[in-house]
Amino acid sequence: MEGLVRSGGVADVILACMVIEAAALLAWHRATGRGLAPRAVAALLLPGAFLVLALRLALTGAAWPLIPVALLAALASHLWDLRGRWRG
């Protein structure tokens, strides 16, 4: 388990699960016309994906400026999601 965390593999597993979740939500919406629209799925999952990316960058010893870039992307996508929710 320690190797999975230190290598950043744990973040890869989380991101893979998020991709599967997105695919399932989009497939459900396409098949039934119900559930979240594609834009809502993106707004829901992007902030978390950027946070997990920041975690992966930190765990793997990436260049330090990349970590705040990923965190700023998480903030921007979170604000995008909030804006959409307040409108609707």
pLDDT at 39: 94
Nearest to 40 by CA among 81, 86, 77, 83: 81
pLDDT beyond 70 at 88: no
Q: What is the pLDDT of residues 8-49, one digit of tens each?
A: 999 999 999 999 999 999 999 999 999 999 999 999 999 999
Centroid of chain to Cα 24: 15
pLDDT at 53: 98
Domain coordinates in residue numbering, the chain: 2-87
pLDDT at 43: 95
HSE-up of 20 (CA within 13 Å, CB side)? Answer: 6
pLDDT at 73: 98
